[in-house]
Structure 1
Amino acid sequence: MNEIASFGARHRARRSGLSAVGALALALGLGGCPDDPTPKAEIAPGIFADSFGEALERSTPEQLATFERGHAVALRRFSRETGLGPYFNLASCAGCHERPVTGGSAGRYRNFLLVGQVLPDGSFQNVGVNGV
């Protein structure tokens, strides 16, 4: 075997050896890791509804009506004509409040301070730029 062929054979052997070592390290690294390193917290029975986004089965008729009214408000799409101001990102509450289901939490990226006054006729009047 000439010197060039010998060098090529040694180079291929070294490269395949490094590939085998890399594959073994990867397999050992992945095999040693659990799928979910954070254990799930156990939730006490009776704390939540059977599924998120649903009213509790033991709700009174008044509580159920309040829940349904809140759900309807969260899904309602607002427009400028119905009071949506120019500084809002989306047209419904559920556009942001959707974690883990409609009406849930939202990412915190801004605080709101709504300013207004209740008039003698019971209506609410925004103060400032759209009450913000």
Structure 2
Amino acid sequence: MKCPFCANVETQVVETRVAEDGNFIRRRRQCSHCEKRFTTYERPDVNFPAVVKKDGRRIEFDRGKLVASLRLALRKRPVSTEQVDRAVERIEEKLLNLGLREVPSSGIGELVMRELKKLDKVAYVRFASVYRSFEDVDEFKTLVDEVRR
């Protein structure tokens, strides 16, 4: 594993932990050259379904985009990184369990909305207002009323 600080290829594992849910392994590493420490995560390599965009393009599933979308909606909200990670894992698990080779981007958006609704109502409204492209205030009001119930 290459050191992210000095690019030295000689690093050693200092500590290894299995995640609570057992879905990945967290490793603390130390560079033998600059002696800085960093963390790596080991996950199983699985084939996620291709994502079909609204315009018909097919792209590879990108976990980073999923995490970025959730973090943007949750910006300045009292939700921990661990909660976000667990939400991402639940979304990924649902995608894998579908057993499909392709999934529409709208399907992923709906999964994100479900997770956000459980995590934080404000983030849910933020995401939904952009995701559903509200045209007027009445659509926004309807969503807020739904969340209040």
TM-score tier after normalising by the smaller chain length: under 0.3
**Bigger proportion of residues as strand:** 2
Name the TM-score, length of structure 1 as normaliser: 0.25
TM-score for both structures, normalised by structure 2? 0.24
* Structure in which a larger fraction of residues adopt helix: 2
Choose 1 or 2 for highest CA Rg: 1
